[in-house]
Amino acid sequence: MSDTSLKQILARDPGEREFHQAVQEIIETVKPVLDRHPEYHRFGILERITEPERLIMFRVPWVDDEGQVRVNRGYRVEMNSAIGPFKGGLRFHPSVNISILKFLAFEQVFKNALTTMPMGGAQGGSDFDPKGKSDEEVMRFCQSFMAGLSHHIGQDTDIPDGGLGVGAREIGYLFGTYKKQRNEFSGVLTGKGLGWGGSYIRPEATGYGIVYFAKEMLATRNETLKGKTCLVSGSGNVAQHTAEKTIDLGGKVLTQSDSSGYIFDPEGIDKEKLSFVKRLKNIKRGRISEYIDKYSGAIFTEADRTLDYNPLWNHKAECAFPCAFEGEIREKDAHNLINNDIKLVCEGADRPLSSEAVRIFLDNKILYAPGKAANAGGVAVSGLEMAQNRMLLNWSAEEVDQRLKTIMKNIHRASLDAAADHGEPGNYLVGANIAGFIRVVNAMLDQGVV
């Protein structure tokens, strides 16, 4: 692809910063593949793969507890269905817009391809902020959101799941509305409750998978997580289960955070303390600062958005797992981590590192994994949930966990092999992008210009 056509792709949607960054990264890293395959250019692969197959946008009106009418926006970006029906999460957060969802959906295409399961890529969501809303408000919002979305999805068409701001509670309300509207009990959503079609280990899968991936990375240097100090950001689904599996494997977790700040516990967050965090965030829906009221040895530091670094990443540790939000490790954070002798940086969230931070870790030969490889365990177990729904049965937790371990091992191997094959040994970013890209592109070529 020439620079001119990249410019043309980007110029079509000016201002879509997040999407442009994701496209540019893929195009740069898959260049060795493009050079080997001139037919990709002839069949317009890059022009097609960067254009959503369908983009749905709808009004989401709902009534708050004071009787006021509120209006949010709902979206679903159906990016690519070359290898299977559209599949990917939903995000409810005030920052949600088309650019962010196009970036997430674009990443999802390659992430899902890495699992080798038949799942295309999509992402959706709303600019609704669940924080501070009552359960009833969240329910009314979810019902209206699904009323707008239900006619565009289905178990053979598009299967959403949760994501940032969308957990078990929201999936329950969304599923209830879909079932009522369509008169159909199907596997249209994943992340369902265990008693009504959900899979064991789906809530844990993203975090557990991240740690299984990190374990594989460390093994390439004959190391393990045992005794390693670890910084984990976030305190939601991904952060909690990343911390849990790290503790299981003998690591020492020092931090958790939310949008208001972070806690540092020099003695380590053990299983009991983590149960407190889970209750605090999942049931009480409280703030992470409340941790220090219970565990006085820990310190809380309030978030300061005027800083160009995050002090969470300035503690000495061997492993870093950013599991909260995009762009949370910037250039200065990367330097701070390296000055503190970091060994491994494994992305739990979707693109939590700035491009500069990625470059710094790669230049310094730090073990670095991109989210699309490391956090693919979540969507992989969603795929297993779909398989179980089709068979009308439930595998045991042990069976799902075993399959998850194998999938993460395979993604790790495929990323390393693709990196080595294309002259970048040990570069998981290049390897994951190429391995995912090749699978999707081969399917697109087989299916003609559609």
Q: Which of 145, 113, 109, 110 is nearest to 126 (CA)?
A: 145
State the Cα–Cα distance between residues 42 and 44, nearest whole angstrom.
6
Residues 162-201 interacting with ligand 2IT (rule: CB under 6 A): 163, 190
Tracing tokens 């069976």 back to the chain, one arrives at 399
One residue of 258, 265, 318, 385 binding ligand NDP per CB under 6 A: 258
Which of these, 346, 350, 302, lies nearest to 325 by C-alpha position? 350
User: Which residue number, 237 or 389, has a Cβ lying nearer to ligand NDP?
Assistant: 237
Cα separation of the two ends of the chain = 20
**Hey, which residues between 361 and 400 contact ligand NDP (CB under 6 A)?**
375, 378
Binding mask 100-139 for ligand 2IT (x = CB under 6 A): -----------x----------------------------
# binding residues, ligand NDP (CB under 6 A): 26
Tokens representing 204 are: 């844990």
Q: Which of 237, 246, 255, 388 binds ligand NDP (CB under 6 A)?
A: 237
Q: How far is the CB of 325 from ligand NDP (least distance, A)?
A: 4
Using CB under 6 A as the binding rule, whether residue 87 contacts ligand 2IT is answered as yes
User: Could you tell which of ligand NDP, ligand 2IT, none binds residue 88, using a CB distance below 5 to 8 A set by kind?
Assistant: ligand 2IT
Distance CA 183, CA 121 (A): 26
Q: Which of 74, 124, 148, 162 binds ligand NDP (CB under 6 A)?
A: 162
Contact 425, 419 (CB under 8 A): yes
Q: Are 143 and 173 a contacting pair, CB within 8 Å?
A: yes
One residue of 350, 373, 411, 440 binding ligand 2IT per CB under 6 A: 350
Q: Name residues contacting ligand NDP, limited to 323-352 (CB under 6 A).
A: 323-325, 348-350
Q: Where are the beta strands (DSSP E) in 184-311?
A: 229-232, 252-253, 255-258, 261-264, 299-302
Are 449 and 126 a contacting pair, CB within 8 Å? Answer: no
CB of 157 to ligand NDP, least distance (A): 21
Q: Is 194 helix (H, G, I), strand (E, B) or coil?
A: helix
Q: Which residues have a Cβ under 8 Å from the Cβ of 96 and sit 6 or more positions away?
A: 73, 75, 125, 126, 127
- Residues of this chain that bind ligand 2IT (CB under 6 A): 87-89, 111, 161, 163, 190, 350, 378-379, 382
- Residues of this chain that bind ligand NDP (CB under 6 A): 89, 131, 162-165, 167, 206, 234-239, 257-260, 323-325, 348-350, 375, 378
